[in-house]
Structure 1
Amino acid sequence: MNAPEAPKRGALLTLYGDPCRSINRRAHWSLLTAVALVAAPLLIAAGPIENGAPPLTAQTKRSGGPIDPDQANVRFDFADLRFEVLPETQRLEGVATLRFTALRRMARLPIDLDRNLPVSAIALNGRALKASAWRNPDGRLLITLPRPIAAGRTVVVTIRYGGAPHIAVRAPWDDGVVWAKTKDGKTWFGTTAEGYGCDLFWPCLDFPTGEPAAVDLHITVPRGLKAPSNGRLLRVDTLPDGRTTWHWRARQPNTYGIALNVGPYEEVRETYHSRFGNRIPMHYWYLPGEEPQARALFAEFASTLDFFESVIGPYPFGDEKLGVVETPYKGMEHQTINAYGNDYAKAPEGFDWLFHHEFAHEYFGNQLTAANWDDYWLHEGYASYMQPLYGRWREGEARYATMLDDQRNKIVNAQPIVSGRVRTEEEVYETKLGGPGTDIYYKGSWILHTLRGLIGDAAFFEVTRRAVFGQTDPKPGSFRPRFGTTTEYEALVRSVTGRDYGWFFETYLRQAALPELIATRRKGVIALQWSAPDGRVFPMPIELQIDGRIEKLAMTGGRGTLTVADGAHIVLDPHARVLKRSTAVEAYQADQARRRAAAKPEGMSQ
């Protein structure tokens, strides 16, 4: 997901009243999208805000957290998902055939599915169940099996369902479907489910490790519309009445990364010749009338691929595609079919930040998936850090420093990045629930920047490759998507460097406040001391610039002294290599908050 641009928050408040709860939960969403939403020329009608459906239950809004014991009893082997998108009635009809392997003896099967999509029939291993065999009181479909299934046995459940799916009121700040129209009145439809989860439109296991090993999608749409989706396109069937069914196959997709996209799309495509010897299909589906802008964005695909392959490793889904589709909302990291709604905005760094950020999630999110939402900084911190790294790759250190400086001003430090417990998505994104919110992006990025400076490029990128691919020298076809944790990441750093950096991760990830560097200057000597949260020892080396020359202090035990000439001009950490407390940034943030409050229109709720 993409991260917010805090200076634009006032504009969004003016447009939408009080979106603070949604903004906190969707901390990744750029607050500059207020301008984009107003200016977007193609989205002229987003359909009704309400479609008469009941509100979402707490269960449906919940994604992740402690896993239901019965759901932990199964391995999700395969999903065959058949959808028909019905724009005229704003309905979605579906048939999901799901194959599970029992890991332990099981007597019932709970599957997450929004009550707005009622079930009309269920079959187990091809035999229809009586309606009394299932119920869905709160958004978790409970299926009682006719007889218990032993460990090691497979079960195939087919679920027929349909209805009016939940409409995202302010997509992608909240989740659901978007029924929109293009400027010439044609259907434009998309789904976004990262926050509330996959159960908004298909029966699934709604937690990070609940992803199926493979998925087939069959998406039927009205005449003249296309349905780009995840994975490889197997074929398109045309029905007698002109409707088409698009058949896709994807391996091990994130559950929230499965996406439906429907529109009168045009397409630009090419084949990328990878530095690893394989060929990668590249596709961009865009709306009619946008070919020049679309081709300009598409021109970024190859260089972005080359950057990631050169510094991280092979594109993880080269056997499927690099796919992007224009959507009636800002964007999302849907595996091999990333959503793009940035209105082709230009930026001083010379590349589209939204495309780049969502593409980064193919590595950090889709290939490396956090096993627990608590470790989500591995997705968003890395995806945010890859942008200044790309700026550096393209233009050098000045661009890198400029982009990092912009991120630094947005670090909040209200809550620790990692709590050490199994958390839901909302518990990570909602600061009022104790979550780190935007810090998983900006602070996560700066933690990685500081780590890279501490352990060096060779070690940093080896750690990154091993975290992403599970190996040091990945080649196309030699790896599969994998799950990772903060604990594993720390162990990788220890293994690669041969040193224990527990003090680093404890301070930056498990404490909210930043370490402060205190300098005391006496005649002929400058003394430095780190003050870390809870009085912890923080032996972070630090550079000093003394009359133009650079000295580096080891800071053993968190302290260090250096002899300097009287009157020497000293700059601490002159290249900003270390994330530390800044009273200037704190004063700036407080001033910005006061200015926003003063500019708030009279009568607007807080």
Structure 2
Amino acid sequence: MIVTALALLAAAAEPPKKGMPAITEQTQRSGGERTADQLALRFDSADLAFEVLPDTYQLTGIATLGFTAKTPLTRLVIDLDRNLPVSAIAIDGVTLPASAWSNPEGQLVIRLPRPLTAGQSVSARITYGGTPHVALNAPWDDGVVWSKTPDGRLWFATTTEGYGCDLLWPCLDFSEGEPAAVTLHVTVPKGLKAPSNGKLLGIDTLSDGRTTWHWRTAHPNTYAIALNVGPYEEISGIYKSRFGNSIPMFYWYLPGEKAQAERLFAEFAPTLDFFETMIGPYPFGDEKVGVVETPHKGMEHQTINAYGNGYAKAIEGFDWLFQHEFTHEWFANQLTAANWDDYWLHEGYGSYMQPAYGQWREGNARYITMMMGQRSQIVNKAPIVRGKILTEEEVYEASRGGAGLDIYMKGSWMLHTLRGLIGDKAFWDVTRLAVYGRPDPRPGNFTPRFGSTREYEALVAKVTGKDYHWFFDVYLRQAALPDLVETRTGDTLTLAWRVPGNGPFPLPIDITVDGIRRTLPMTDGRGTLTISGDAHVVIDPDARVLRRSIAVEEMQAWQARPR
């Protein structure tokens, strides 16, 4: 019996393989069409108590969730991976029998002891735990990461953007399922730290040396709740905002990296100043700017952004990954897309703000160099926006019709072209309205909000006084790029836009003739000018317009050839 028990214990201590334990199709689905029961809930609060158990590779939790019914309800439908089985549920303090709930496929259905009428609130206390799904390749495939520091201590992280919050805790796994407030209590082994979302409320030390870290955050994105555990060291400071408030800044890094960590931390304040100058106040200044080193590349976890870029150096002189994830505090966490179909608002802007920062730091040469680095990655296989409610995988996976990386790079280039079209002031005014919902953001006069492509188009029309639906229809709702066809007959040069769908496309184009610049208005999609036969002509000399490039297509075909 002793041998058997020891064998079982040893087996239980084996780390799960990557991609295991398997998750259901329901758990893998994030976003998309939701049940009427879920849409009928307003998510008021979540109190989440976690314990990370590295000896058994398990995660246990007690989630106390507060909801208000928008319409009458007889049950709660809550997303939760079945690899974290439920052991007890209490509704408004009354323990339910096990027969009152079920979770066969990753969606927990709880039969309420009494029906809810519209406007009534309910509290559900859910005790659960098990072996969480291990990410196959975080952060591109989601789950937990069990890792070790160079000296052999636990280094643990979570990432859930793709498959959703239900990998870790019972939640509403769609964008508009954000809870108004979340309190976290994270218990970890002795000697380890647990930086997480929001403001630190305190740390309790238990009798055996374990510690419980208490955090609170407001309006977190559904996939933004993150657990990070390790023997972290900490750098902190205060940023004096141009808006008059003081913002605490923290970076948690692994031992032995102090010099590198300090150099990265030195980027925090100037990056903040860039965003506050160009867009507006840091959205979570009453909580913190937080970054934590992780055993995966990175992710925009609200106020605790994951960083795993290895302190890489690049010619632009700043850490692109830190800047990209920090961008998402504005474009993902403050402005959240209401539907995955609109995720270019996150990733298009998320990618565009690195060249914009390069321009702010060094000027136009750096900006266009970085933009051209993105241009070669645009593949135009699927539209960025499809006009329906989508899951995360339907957006990202080419096999499911998704645009994939084009959400990032094509979205960025569309913004670059839009900025050239409507001008700098209008572009940043539109951006500010999209992020804050108002033109005059100040600390305390805004909260996180949801946005959509249609709203963004309306904001462009509001700011400019013009309808640019033709622009967005081509760049967002068509896969192929507009093609600028050049015809030269004698002394006449004709330029004509050819666009998918053959709709209107009056996008002006700059041109230089023997070094003299002019702009062709292309009002009906065409423009002509008279030039001498030996004139030197350069079309779009500043590369302001996203259009078809034969050179890019041939290069991509060459790169994809069999070797």
Same fold per superposition (TM over 0.5):
yes
What SS is found at the alignment partner of 2:413? Answer: helix
Q: CA deviation at 1:51?
A: 8.1
Q: Determine which of 84, 90, 95 is the counterpart of 2:51.
A: 84
Quick one: which amino acid aligns to residue 332 of structure 1? M
What SS is found at the alignment partner of 1:533? Answer: coil
Structure 1 runs, 4 residues or longer, greater than 6 Å off: none
1:61 aligns with 2:28: yes
What SS is found at the alignment partner of 1:467? Answer: helix
Deviations 1:444-478 (A, max 9, x none): 00000000000001100000000000000100111
Q: CA deviation at 1:565?
A: 2.0
Alpha-carbon distance in structure 1 between the residues aligned to 2:168 and 2:518: 58
Residue matched to 2:63: 96
Alpha-carbon distance in structure 1 between the residues aligned to 2:186 and 2:70: 31
Residue matched to 1:29: none
Q: Determine which of 127, 132, 139 is the counterpart of 2:99.
A: 132
Residue matched to 2:143: 176
Quick one: which amino acid aligns to residue 314 of structure 1? P
Q: CA deviation at 1:579?
A: 0.4
Residue matched to 1:582: 549
Quick one: which amino acid aligns to residue 465 of structure 1? R
Residue matched to 1:601: none
Q: How does 1:203-602 map onto structure 2 within 5 Å?
A: 203-594=170-561, 597-598=562-563
Contact 1:65 1:207 in 2 (8 A): yes
Q: CA deviation at 1:563?
A: 1.6
Alpha-carbon distance in structure 1 between the residues aligned to 2:195 and 2:238: 17
Closer, same or farther: CA 216–272 of 1 in aligned 2, 3 Å: same
Contact 1:523 1:566 in 2 (8 A): yes
Closer, same or farther: CA 515–476 of 1 in aligned 2, 3 Å: same
Contact 1:176 1:200 in 2 (8 A): yes
What SS is found at the alignment partner of 1:450? Answer: helix
Deviations 1:141-197 (A, max 9, x none): 000111211000000000000011111122222110011111111111000000000
Closer, same or farther: CA 432–52 of 1 in aligned 2, 3 Å: closer
What SS is found at the alignment partner of 2:552? Answer: helix
Alpha-carbon distance in structure 2 between the residues aligned to 1:314 and 1:562: 46
What SS is found at the alignment partner of 1:534? Answer: coil
Alpha-carbon distance in structure 2 between the residues aligned to 1:330 and 1:103: 39
Quick one: which amino acid aligns to residue 109 of structure 1? L
Alpha-carbon distance in structure 2 between the residues aligned to 1:69 and 1:336: 32
Quick one: which amino acid aligns to residue 447 of structure 1? M
Contact 2:21 2:132 in 1 (8 A): no
Alpha-carbon distance in structure 2 between the residues aligned to 1:69 and 1:62: 17
Quick one: which amino acid aligns to residue 186 of structure 2? I
Quick one: which amino acid aligns to residue 431 of structure 2? T
Contact 1:53 1:116 in 2 (8 A): no
Contact 2:52 2:188 in 1 (8 A): yes
What SS is found at the alignment partner of 2:501? Answer: helix
Alpha-carbon distance in structure 1 between the residues aligned to 2:374 and 2:150: 35
Q: CA deviation at 1:61?
A: 0.2
Alpha-carbon distance in structure 1 between the residues aligned to 2:168 and 2:350: 27
Contact 2:281 2:442 in 1 (8 A): yes
Contact 1:365 1:379 in 2 (8 A): yes
What SS is found at the alignment partner of 1:550? Answer: strand
What SS is found at the alignment partner of 1:70? Answer: helix
Q: How does 1:33-48 map onto structure 2 within 5 Å?
A: 48=15
TM-score for the superposition, normalised by structure 2: 0.97
Quick one: which amino acid aligns to residue 69 of structure 2? A
Deviations 1:357-376 (A, max 9, x none): 00000000000000000000
Contact 1:77 1:100 in 2 (8 A): yes
Alpha-carbon distance in structure 2 between the residues aligned to 1:245 and 1:589: 51
Deviations 1:230-262 (A, max 9, x none): 000010011111111000000000110000000
Alpha-carbon distance in structure 2 between the residues aligned to 1:357 and 1:328: 17
Q: CA deviation at 1:48?
A: 3.6
RMSD value over aligned CA atoms? 1.1
Deviations 1:16-44 (A, max 9, x none): xxxxxxxxxxxxxxxxxxxxxxxxxxxxx
Q: CA deviation at 1:54?
A: 4.3
The unaligned stretches of length 5 or more in structure 2 are 1-13
Alpha-carbon distance in structure 2 between the residues aligned to 1:188 and 1:488: 41
Q: CA deviation at 1:524?
A: 2.0
Residue matched to 2:130: 163
Q: CA deviation at 1:522?
A: 1.9
Alpha-carbon distance in structure 1 between the residues aligned to 2:445 and 2:430: 18
Alpha-carbon distance in structure 1 between the residues aligned to 2:456 and 2:167: 32
Alpha-carbon distance in structure 2 between the residues aligned to 1:221 and 1:478: 37
What SS is found at the alignment partner of 1:233? Answer: strand
What SS is found at the alignment partner of 2:524? Answer: helix
The one of the two structures with greater contact order (alpha-carbon pairs below 8 A, sep at least 6) is: 1
Q: CA deviation at 1:578?
A: 0.5
What SS is found at the alignment partner of 1:441? Answer: helix
Q: How does 1:191-202 map onto structure 2 within 5 Å?
A: 191-202=158-169
What SS is found at the alignment partner of 1:383? Answer: helix
Contact 1:554 1:560 in 2 (8 A): yes
Contact 2:16 2:57 in 1 (8 A): no
Deviations 1:311-341 (A, max 9, x none): 0100000110010000011110000000001
Quick one: which amino acid aligns to residue 97 of structure 1? T
What SS is found at the alignment partner of 1:304? Answer: helix
Alpha-carbon distance in structure 2 between the residues aligned to 1:188 and 1:591: 41
Closer, same or farther: CA 51–115 of 1 in aligned 2, 3 Å: farther
What SS is found at the alignment partner of 2:248? Answer: strand
Quick one: which amino acid aligns to residue 290 of structure 1? E
Residue matched to 1:112: 79
Alpha-carbon distance in structure 1 between the residues aligned to 2:138 and 2:432: 33
Closer, same or farther: CA 422–306 of 1 in aligned 2, 3 Å: same
Contact 1:450 1:578 in 2 (8 A): yes
Quick one: which amino acid aligns to residue 512 of structure 2? Q
Q: CA deviation at 1:52?
A: 10
Residue matched to 2:10: none
Contact 2:337 2:452 in 1 (8 A): yes
The unaligned stretches of length 5 or more in structure 1 are 1-46, 599-606
Residue matched to 1:18: none
Residue matched to 1:25: none
Closer, same or farther: CA 207–587 of 1 in aligned 2, 3 Å: same
Q: CA deviation at 1:55?
A: 1.3
Contact 1:51 1:164 in 2 (8 A): no
